[in-house]
Amino acid sequence: METIDHKICRLVRYYVRMVGSRDPVAIAKFAGIGIATMPLSNVAGYYTLVQRKRWICINEDIPSDSPLFKVVVAHELGHAILHRKENCAFIKKHTLLLTSGIEQEANQFAAELLISDDMLQDYFGCTNDQFCACTGYPKELIDIRLKY
């Protein structure tokens, strides 16, 4: 039986090969998953399934060119791919710390997608703090990526 770690790696490899990019927005488009920005108060984003159509909703206060935007989209993309029928919310500053199984899996998907082996090699010798300062990614994301 395939472990979740192997499943996530396999899915990330598949989408990167099919799209030719690790960009979560491009992958969502390829997979037929809509992305909408809207006012969401303190919620950074969430994934929902409405009438068999998958949607990723992102807080309009997050600039689309920011690293946080990519992290939130990648996390919600993980839900859309791994947990198609679940409606999930990515709560700003908290979800990367949650321990629920589906949140951990979405976090792991985002980390695997956004931080490639080549990227880890490029930053070899840097501290996690230096990596985060250069990429703009939260420290929790690199911690998750290095676990697996």
pLDDT digits (tens, 9 = 90+) for 91-147: 555 555 455 888 899 999 999 999 999 999 999 999 999 999 999 999 999 999 998
Please compute, for residue 49, the number of CA atoms within 13 A of its CA located in the half-sphere on the CB side.
Answer: 10
The secondary structure of the chain, three-state, reads: CCCHHHHHHHHHHHHHHHHCCCCHHHHHHHCCCEEEEECCCCEEEEEEEECCEEEEEEECCCCCCCHHHHHHHHHHHHHHHHCCCCCEEEECCCHHHCCCHHHHHHHHHHHHHHCCHHHHHHCCCCCHHHHHHHHCCCHHHHHHHHHC
Domain carrying residue 75: 4-147
Burial class (CB in 10 A: 0-12, 13-18, 19+), 80: buried
On the question of pLDDT at 72 being above 80, the answer is: yes
- Residue 66 has what pLDDT? 96
Strand-pair partners of 58: 37, 45
With a pLDDT cut of 90, the percent of the chain lying above it is 80
Here the tokens at position 115 are 């931080």
Q: 47 and 82 in contact (C-beta within 8 Å)?
A: no
- The total number of structural domains in the chain stands at 1
Confidence category of residue 89, pLDDT binned at 50, 70, 90: low
